[in-house]
Amino acid sequence: MVGCRTGGAHRHQEAVARIEGSAMTSRFFQHTRVPTLLQTEAYRLAVHGNTPAREQEAVINALQVRRSHMDDLGKRFVFVLTEAVLRWRMGPAELMCGQLDHLVEMSRRPSVLLGVVPWSVNMVTVAPAVSTYMTNVSSR
């Protein structure tokens, strides 16, 4: 997969968009921050605010393609987050409240399944250092 170091964040988003475009199911595990597909604009800017404006525009364009896949009712997007993702403040309370409202809204979409692992769950394994992304690809 193309990473941010090999051509910019927008190239990474474009590569992931191609994978998601051919996938029937995309699964995400995130324990540090809200997955990109579920981020509000304010949250995304808090995470990537230091990215040059030109690169941010390219990222937004590529991200719009990824998000359009979520409108396809033949696809499934499964997100599992830890409670830490919801509690880690990426900005002021208003930003986080808006992000939480957005997560609730996104979880109501027919193609989206969103789960949260609460603090109270004992971890039986060490979480990966980065988010995990998996897809089931099948020909149409």
The model's confidence at residue 3, banded by pLDDT at 50, 70 and 90, is: very low
Q: pLDDT (tens digit, 9 = 90+) per residue, 12-62?
A: 777 777 777 778 898 888 988 999 899 998 998 888 777 777 777 777 877
pTM of the model: 0.80
* 57 three-class SS: helix
How far apart, in whole angstroms, are the C-alpha atoms of residue 33 and residue 131? 9
Tokens describing residue 47: 């995470």
Helix (H, G, I), strand (E, B) or coil at 76: strand
pLDDT on residue 4: 42
Check residue 128 and give its pLDDT. 65
Distance CA 83, CA 87 (A): 6
Q: What is the per-residue pLDDT for 69?
A: 85
Sheet holding 132-137, edge to edge: 112-117, 76-82, 23-30, 132-137
